[in-house]
Amino acid sequence: MGIILAFVSIKGGVGKTSIALETASSLANDFGKKVLLVDGNFSAPNIGLYLDLTSDVTLHDALLGVGLHNAIYEAHGFDVVPAALNYNHEVDVFGLKKLLAKMKPRYDFIILDSSPNYEELKPIIAAADKIFIVTTPDDVTLTTSLKAARLARQKKTPVVGIIVNRIRSPRHEMNLSEIEKKSNIPVLAKIKEHKKMAEALFHKKPITIHDWRNTISKEIRRFASALCGVPEEPSGFFQRFLPFRKLIGKEKVNREMIRGEFYKEVL
């Protein structure tokens, strides 16, 4: 039985769609998992554009009664359900939970991208088994993003951790300890901004495929390994030969804490 993971934020521009897409790609291509990526941004979807998919049938159609299997497309080793950029019919977005429940036996992971719109976020949280908050390392974005965490807790959907994305100038940004102190949520990955991301987007490919050795790809792979419950590869010379605890980042320690939990759930 698969598990539904949602990546959420209540602020645009944090890279939430990219994190959902890259996680799906890594789970499928690096760990051999059967993955379904669903664009749950009902009003401003991006994944179909990211992957250059022809979306004749979309999630919106499935919510109107067309079988969800008709809206599934294959891209780069995983399955994708795009949403419609323009749709003229009213749809019941809370039907998403029922649609995805039927798909859970077919996949190891169902990854949900979400809208930053507070109301559109509600059906995503209702459909998900677990939530990850995506934020950039600044107080304004984190404060806003924590509204999504509060909503998830109200709905009793577990918030597993935070992905800190688009790190640019660490000396002038919140560090992981500050983020965890304010949010009371463990940080599971820290991803630095890299020009190769724009290059991968231009080529319509996940960076985890376009540039396997990129720092973003490596951190996504470490995060995905925890979701699969498999050991994490050493990240460099010092951790390979001098595995002292003080050299291990806070995010790695947090990943180790969830690794066993996810191992049991994905068996």
User: Is a pLDDT exceeding 50 seen at residue 244?
Assistant: no
Strands 3-8 and 130-135, sheet pairing: parallel
- Per-residue confidence band for 249, with pLDDT thresholds at 50, 70 and 90: confident
Predicted pLDDT of residue 93: 95
Alpha helix (H) ranges present in the chain?
16-29, 47-50, 59-63, 96-103, 118-127, 139-154, 176-183, 196-202, 207-210, 215-228, 237-241, 250-266
pLDDT in tens, 9-25: 998 899 999 999 999 99
Q: What is the mean pLDDT of residues 33-44?
A: 96
Q: What is the mean pLDDT of residues 80-97?
A: 92
CATH of the domain at 38: 3.40.50.300
Predicted pLDDT of residue 238: 45
- Per-residue confidence band for 265, with pLDDT thresholds at 50, 70 and 90: low
Give the total number of structural domains in the chain.
Answer: 1
Q: Which of 34-48, 154-168, 195-209, 234-248 has the lowest mean pLDDT?
A: 234-248
Q: Which of 133-147, 174-188, 224-238 has the lowest mean pLDDT?
A: 224-238
* Domain span holding position 254: 3-266
Q: Which of 30-34, 53-57, 132-136 has the lowest mean pLDDT?
A: 53-57
Q: What is the mean pLDDT of residues 86-112?
A: 94
pLDDT in tens, 143-196: 999 999 999 999 999 999 999 999 999 999 999 999 999 999 999 999 999 999
User: Is a pLDDT exceeding 90 seen at residue 47?
Assistant: yes
Count H helices and E strands in the chain, helices first.
12, 8
* Adjacency order of strands within the sheet including 35-40: 73-75, 78-81, 35-40, 109-114, 3-8, 130-135, 159-167, 187-192
